[in-house]
Structure 1
């Protein structure tokens, strides 16, 4: 996956990710953004808990 954008909202951030035709938005702390070096263009590996997933229609 690749980070396609970072939107900071207070002490959290929305991280936009893409891989092939799939897109994902993850909400993390701004501390995590800094520690993980989450910037547009950065390659990342993502893992999520099934109980923490929300799906929204386009």
Structure 2
């Protein structure tokens, strides 16, 4: 649920899953932030939220391992 709410649902558009997934991968340096039209990448505020949430999730995973 934390992945869903912290990454996939931050952007409130109908394609929030795709945009959230791409933004999370971008914050980790795995892909570019390019997204094909007519879609638009997440805005700066949402990107920062996703970046913070990814960092928190990584810390939680590290603690479990």
- TM-score band, normalised by shorter chain: under 0.3
More strand by share: 1
Q: TM-score scaled by structure 1?
A: 0.25
State TM-score, norm by structure 2.
0.24
